[in-house]
Structure 1
Amino acid sequence: MPNLPKSFLADAVFCRQICEQENPMRVVVLGAGVIGVTSAYYLAKAGHEVTVIDRQPGPALETSFANAGEISPGYASPWAAPGIPAKAVKWLFMKHAPLIIQARPDLAKIEWVGRMLLNCTSSAYAVNKSRMVRLAEYSRDCLIELRRDTGISYDERTQGTLQLFRTEKQVEAAEKDIKVLKADGVPFEVLDAAACVAAEPGLAPNIGKIAGGLRLPGDETGDCFKFTNSLAEMAAAAGVTFRWGVTIQALESDGSRITSAQTSAGRFGADAFVLAMGSYSPALARPFGMRLPVYPVKGYSITVPIVNEDRAPVSTVMDESHKIAITRLGDRIRVGGMAEISGFNNHLHPKRQATLTHSVEDLFGGAGDQSKAIFWSGLRPMTPDGTPLVGRSTVPNLFLNTGHGTLGWTMAAGSGRVIADMVSGRVAEIDTAGLGYARYQRRSKAAAPVSQAIAAE
């Protein structure tokens, strides 16, 4: 037998394991946000023995807790886009700015912003958006199937998203998105002001502020926290073990593959590991030579009870001027948005709440009781090009499911299913090209060992 490299032998062992489905694999999922829980659910459905580890006392208590509530595959777009650098300068001086950059030096921030700026070209935008829409559309279809099969309920609505434009310039700028939507076969409607009001009657008093809109009828809304908790219960009923209040400290290897997760509750061994820890994923991958370009971009939301049904939104309205989503969740309105590049902090800044309040009151004034608003912030795990990292890593039995940014809720079901297929040795139902870590590896590594080359999946 030839003297093969350890990485090759590890790949061969792993491939043999995933092909022997009579003996289900042991899989550890690191993280119990919406991404981790959906991964665990689909892995359990595939017949694996799954353990989920999370430092919180329950599911979806960090970034998945109070996000904007929109499931918007049609609105899946990278923040890196033509014209964004110039817009960003203007936003920094706006009273209700969608972008806030903390001045404190941070090498990770500088590197991440630099990579993002390199993606602000027309060609990069088209490629990145197409990748994102591909995964997001598939995810929405998976969610529909999951809802049909399980009857899961989470204040869901299937009445589309309205991207609202306040200026003609915004209407014209939407052409680049429309081209991608056409190319990917995503249904859309270009609306004038009157048609926007027909779709969202609560906007009627403010029709003079509307220049037009782009409606995506295939989009949905729902409470991510409710969904994740309900799915976790279903996963537990299917045999998934959840270990709450356990801090994940490091991953251990034998030099060729991951052998265990070292935690505050001891070591957890497994055949495969899924890294779904959002903004905290890079720290666990770094010892294995992977520099995951995932940075914590802080977002904010308020949740207010509805007091005037006639003025409340029907579904989701995306206020393009402030980059804020206003979503109907049952008897509540969730208002979420902004991008604060300030590292790992969850400080609740009063000015951010004022921006959220301004957006919803300017469009749906009096619909909610702002005196009872619940203010929240979360750290979105963003990649510079907008596309998440979904697939195999450079370590044969370590899988990545992270970096979804503002679209974790939108892409969760599809990402979880793709990962379950990959772990099981099946070909995913969608083209996964461009979704993995390989796109961030240097070209000089193109001819690297098998364990790195397979990351191209």
Structure 2
Amino acid sequence: MRVLVLGSGVIGVTTAWYLNQAGHEVVVVDRESGPALETSFANAGQVSPGYSAPWAAPSIPVKAMKWLLMRHAPLIIRPQLDMAMIRWTLAMLRNCTHARYALNKGRMVRLAEYSRDQLDLLRRQTGIAYDGREQGTLQLFRTEKQLADVHKDVDVLRAQGVPCEVLDPAGCIAAEPGLAASDVPFVGGLRLPNDETGDCFLFTNALAKLAAQQGVVFHNGVQIHGLTETNGRVVGARTSIGALLADAVVVALGSYSPQMVAPLGLKLPVYPVKGYSITARITDAARAPVSTVMDESYKVAITRLGDRIRVGGMAELSGYNNSLPHLRRETLEQSVGSLFPDGGDLKGASYWSGLRPMTPDGTPVIGATALPGLYLNTGHGTLGWTMACGSARVLADTLGGAKPEIETHDLSLNRYGSWAGAFAPGFG
């Protein structure tokens, strides 16, 4: 089949790779001048299946009220007269129950664990390099309340067969020796030894190069004006270089996916949740992280990427904007500076923001739609890098008529029923 993939972020490029490996003729189109120049450019660098969890948790409504009063809040809400934001927010709140949290986290971990396995296989098959490390993730707790609440995650992880261990402060320092220099107290942590790190931008560009060598055609710097439909079937896209026809079209446009499918009557519950990062040169390796430390208080990931430290996180509901407020940078610097003082050159760090495509239940939308010829691979939120290879393999199997290796019935758009409002039947 001839398949048109819209988007060349990490999701679009991995999708193109697996489709090509399945024998399809693949064309990728993106408005940017090269791969991974938007949300995939400077993310937190984690490949963390064990940390895969929805933002919609039972504690979020109460925490959100407290966070509104914090200077360095992990969640920032800038209310707008935007019905998409309102519907998405209400739907997210509906998922803030213990039962839905366990359900959503379970399927996210299932996909993420599969994706990690696919990444490992890809790495062994191709030798692809991207400043990767396989030394686990440490979720660090600064308060006893955070430590006490970790049982709900541990229960889900163990049910999924994911190795994990709860550590005391000494155990945290043993896993991440740089924490010995921390000037703030912490009470313990959750270590996930099978998690990895890596530079998503380097990975995506390296894989795009390999895909091009295998025959995938990339059209970068091309505007996508809309999808082409004939007799109820999607047959291509209208672009700035003309009509591109295909037997199937995969929309992997991140936060911009809903606008692409809306003219065809599809309501896709994906909304941008803005994240921030800084990238600093390591100045003292002994005071820098070994792998990834998740600072639970700030919802910030501090990751070692070669000779750099990537500090990324937070969630901001503010629509489609990439502004860089100084206060958000201060939050990132506060987190890494308190845990790894003098580990990196924070003053010289680069500063970035990206729009994560988030669903209300945290799980991405992958698979066929009600429109023949149209497929989706989007809505990965903060876990696009973690879930990329698994999502792409699932999509390629589904499109080609093969049975995916994991359960996928709850990954498609069908789980939302008719997305007419926040409380659509079948949601969650």
TM-score, scaled relative to structure 1:
0.91
322-331 or 432-441, which deviates more = 432-441
1:144 Cα deviation from its structure 2 partner: 0.1
Residue 85 (str. 1) matches residue 61 (str. 2): yes
> Is the alpha carbon distance of 1:256 and 1:317 closer, same or farther for their aligned partners in structure 2, counting shifts above 3 Å?
same
Change (3 A) 1:256 1:297: same
Cα drift, residue 228 of structure 1: 0.1
The structure-2 alpha-carbon separation of the partners of 1:443 and 1:57, relative to structure 1 and needing over 3 Å to count, comes to closer
Cα shift readout 1:393-425 (whole Å, capped 9, x = no counterpart): 111211110000000000000011111111111
Contact 2:235 2:249 survives alignment (8 Å) = no
Check whether the contact 1:113–1:384 (CA below 8 A) recurs between aligned residues: yes
- Quote how far apart the aligned CAs of 1:259 are: 1.5
Which residue pairs with 2:290 in the alignment? 314
Give me the whole-angstrom Cα distance separating, in 1, the residues matched to 2:58 and 2:397: 35
Contact 2:278-2:312 at 8 Å conserved across structures: yes
The amino acid of 1:301's aligned partner reads S
Q: Check the 8 A contact 1:197/1:207 in 2, yes or no.
A: no
Say which SS state the counterpart of residue 371 (structure 1) adopts.
coil
C-alpha separation between the residues in 1 aligned to 2:205 and 2:192?
A: 28
Asked if 1:244 is matched to 2:217, the reply is: no
1:430 and 2:406 matched? yes
Match of 1:144 among 95, 114, 120: 120
Correspondence 1:71-220 to 2 at 5 A: 71-206=47-182, 209-220=185-196
The 1-side partners of 2:181 and 2:341 are apart by 9
AA partner of residue 251 (structure 1): L
- For 1:274 and 1:160, the matched residues in 2 are separated by 33
- Structure 1: gaps of 5 or more residues: 1-24, 445-455
Of 35, 43, 65, which aligns to 2:19?
Answer: 43
Structure 2: where are the runs of 5+ without partners?
421-426
- Tell me how far apart the structure 2 counterparts of residues 200 and 245 of structure 1 sit (CA, whole Å): 42
Contact kept, 8 Å, 2:268 with 2:419, in 1: the verdict is no
State the alpha-carbon separation in 2 of the partners of residues 254 and 359 from structure 1: 53
Report the Cα distance in structure 2 between the residues aligned to 1:184 and 1:396, rounded to whole angstroms. 34
Following superposition, the deviation at residue 208 of structure 1 comes to 5.8
Secondary structure of 1:381's counterpart equals: strand
- Per the alignment, residue 315 of structure 2 pairs with 339
1:19 matched residue in structure 2: none
Matching residue of 1:300 = 276
Asked if the contact 1:194/1:207 (under 8 Å) is kept, the reply is no
User: Hey, what's the Cα distance between the residues in 1 that align with 2:55 and 2:174?
Assistant: 29
CA contact (8 A) 1:293 1:383 kept: yes
Residue aligning to 1:280: 256
Contact 1:306 1:312 in 2 (8 A): yes
Which of these two proteins has the greater Rg computed from alpha carbons? Answer: 1
Contact (CA 8 Å) 1:193, 1:207: kept in 2 or not? no
Show CA shifts across 1:412-446 (max 9, x none). Answer: 000111111111110011110210100111399xx
Specify which of 332, 344, 351 is matched with residue 356 of structure 1: 332
Secondary structure at the counterpart of residue 159 of structure 1: coil
Amino acid at match of 2:315: A
Distance 2:364 2:70 in 1: 29
Instruction: Give the length in aligned residue pairs.
Output: 421
Quote how far apart the aligned CAs of 1:207 are.
7.5
Q: Is it true that 1:409 corresponds to 2:385 in the alignment?
A: yes
Residue number in structure 2 paired with 1:32: 8
Residue in 2 that maps onto 1:330:
306
CA distance in 1, matches of 2:200, 2:378: 16
Moved over 6 A (4+): none
- Larger mean CA deviation between 188-197 and 279-288 belongs to 279-288
Partners of 2:184 and 2:217 lie apart in 1 by 54
How many Å separate the matches in 2 of 1:32 and 1:245? 11
For 1:219-234, what aligned pairs fall within 5 Å after superposition? Answer: 219-234=195-210
TM-score, scaled to structure 2: 0.97
Moved more, 98-107 or 199-208: 199-208
Q: Quick check: 1:260 aligned with 2:247?
A: no
What is the CA–CA distance in structure 2 between the aligned matches of 1:205 and 1:248, rounded to whole Å? 50
Say which SS state the counterpart of residue 326 (structure 1) adopts: strand
Is 1:373 the counterpart of 2:379 in the alignment?
A: no
The residue matched to 2:290 in structure 1 has which SS?
Answer: coil
Tell me how far apart the structure 1 counterparts of residues 269 and 94 of structure 2 sit (CA, whole Å): 14
Match of 1:274, SS? strand
CA offset digits 1:140-189 (Å, max 9, x no partner): 00000000000000000000000000011000111110110011111001
Code of the aligned partner of 2:209: E
Superposition deviation, residue 372 in structure 1: 1.1
Equivalent residue number for residue 66 of structure 1: 42
In structure 2, the CA distance between the partners of 1:239 and 1:67, relative to structure 1 (3 Å rule), is same
1:65-118 Cα deviation digits (max 9, x unpaired): 000000000000000011110000101111110011113321111110000000
**CA-CA distance at 1:300 after TM superposition:** 0.2
CA–CA distance in structure 2, aligned partners of residues 143 and 99 of structure 1: 30
Deviations 1:303-327 (A, max 9, x none): 0000001100000000000000000
CA displacement at 1:206 relative to structure 2: 2.6
Cα drift, residue 275 of structure 1: 0.5
Q: Give the SS at the match of 2:347.
A: helix
